[in-house]
Structure 1
Amino acid sequence: MTVHLKDIAAYTGVSIKTVSNVVNGNYEHVGPETRAIVLDAIKKMNYRPNTAARHLRKASVSILAYAFPDLSNPYFTDIGDAIATVAAELKYTVLLDYTFAERDKELNILTGMSPHLLDGVILDSHALNVDDIAEVTASTPIVLLGERLFGAPFDHVLIDNVEAAYVATSHLIATGKRRIAAIGVQTARSEAPSLRLQGFLRAHAEAHIQPDNSLLMDGGLWHRADGARAMQQLLQREQNAMPDAVFCFNDLMALGAMSVINAAGYRIPEDIAVIGIDDIEDGRYASPALSTIAPDKPEIARLAVTRLVDHIKGHASQPPASIMAPFHLQARASTLGRQATH
Structure 2
Amino acid sequence: MQHRGRQPERACRRRRVAGIVFLAFSGESRTMQETLEHQVPVVFLSCKADWGDVVSVDDVRGGRLGTSHLIAAGHRRIAYISIPELEDQSDVARWQGYCEALEQARIEPPIRISWSPPSDHALVSGVDRKLLEVFNGPDRATAAFGSNDVAAISLQEFADRVKLRVPQDLSIVGFDDVPMAGLARIGLTTVAQPRDELAKLGIATIADRIERKLKGPPRTTLVGVSLVTRQSTGPPPEGL
TM-score range, shorter chain: 0.7 to 0.9
Q: 1:112 to 1:127 in 2, by over 3 A?
A: same
Residues of 2 paired with 1:209 and 1:241: CA distance?
A: 14
Question: Unaligned 5+ residue runs, structure 1?
Answer: 1-63, 69-98, 100-104, 338-342
Structure 1 partner of 2:214: 316
Tell me the CA shift for residue 318 of structure 1: 5.8
Q: 1:139 to 1:290 in 2, by over 3 A?
A: same
Residues of 1 paired with 2:17 and 2:171: CA distance?
A: 46
- Letter of the 1:116 partner, please give it: R
Tell me the CA shift for residue 305 of structure 1: 0.9
- Letter of the 1:122 partner, please give it: V
Which structure has the highest strand share of the two?
A: 2
The 5-angstrom pairing of residues 10-21 of structure 1 reads none
Residues of 2 paired with 1:254 and 1:211: CA distance?
A: 21
- Letter of the 2:17 partner, please give it: L
Structure 1 partner of 2:19: 120
Q: 1:202 to 1:275 in 2, by over 3 A?
A: same
- Letter of the 2:178 partner, please give it: I
Tell me the CA shift for residue 303 of structure 1: 0.8
Question: Unaligned 5+ residue runs, structure 2?
Answer: 236-240
Tell me the CA shift for residue 319 of structure 1: 4.4
Which structure has the highest helix share of the two?
A: 1
CA contact (8 A) 1:165 1:196 kept: yes
Q: 1:122 is paired with a residue of what secondary structure?
A: strand
User: Whose RCO is larger (CA < 8 A, sep 6+)?
Assistant: 2
How many residues are matched? 226
CA contact (8 A) 1:126 1:148 kept: no
Structure 2 partner of 1:85: none
CA contact (8 A) 2:192 2:226 kept: yes
The 5-angstrom pairing of residues 23-42 of structure 1 reads none
- Structure index of larger Rg: 1
Residues of 2 paired with 1:156 and 1:141: CA distance?
A: 12
Q: 2:169 is paired with a residue of what secondary structure?
A: coil
TM-score under structure 1 normalisation?
A: 0.60
Q: 1:192 to 1:198 in 2, by over 3 A?
A: same
Identity %: 25
Give per-residue Cα distances to partners, 1:131-169, cap 9 Å, x unaligned: 8525523442211134432x43x2111111111101100
- Letter of the 1:178 partner, please give it: R
Structure 1 partner of 2:73: 175
CA contact (8 A) 1:268 1:288 kept: no
The 5-angstrom pairing of residues 138-287 of structure 1 reads 138-149=38-49, 151-152=50-51, 154-184=52-82, 189-212=87-110, 215-220=111-116, 225=118, 230=122, 233-237=130-134, 238-285=136-183, 287=185
